[in-house]
Amino acid sequence: MTNNEYEKMMVEAADGKFKIEAVDAQIKAHQAALDYLNEHRRELINRYDLNKCTHDFDYNPKDMCGQCVKCGAIKR
């Protein structure tokens, strides 16, 4: 390996490291945005009680027990 080839490899390695650091910074920024949006989504779900099932029971005529078709809750 010549001195020029070695220098070229080192420059490429440094350039690759710089590109990886840039991508890592983008990932960090996108992760922060995703975390914010997920928190905002949870707040909206809680504010409007969207995580509560209104239960739509499908009854068995034999024993009048029912199971919610939305969440699977059983009513006896």
- Tens-of-pLDDT digits for all 76 residues of the chain? 898 998 989 999 999 999 999 999 999 999 999 999 999 999 998 898 888 777 777 777 667 778 787 777 777 7
Instruction: State both tokens at 53.
Output: 């099932």
Q: Where are the domains of the chain?
A: 3-75
Number of helices (H), then strands (E), belonging to the chain: the values are 1, 3
pLDDT for res 44: 94
Instruction: State both tokens at 12.
Output: 């490429």
pTM, rounded to two decimals: 0.58
Using DSSP's 3-state secondary structure scheme, residue 58 falls into strand
pLDDT for res 34: 98
Which positions ≥6 away from 9 have C-beta within 8 Å? none
Using DSSP's 3-state secondary structure scheme, residue 66 falls into strand
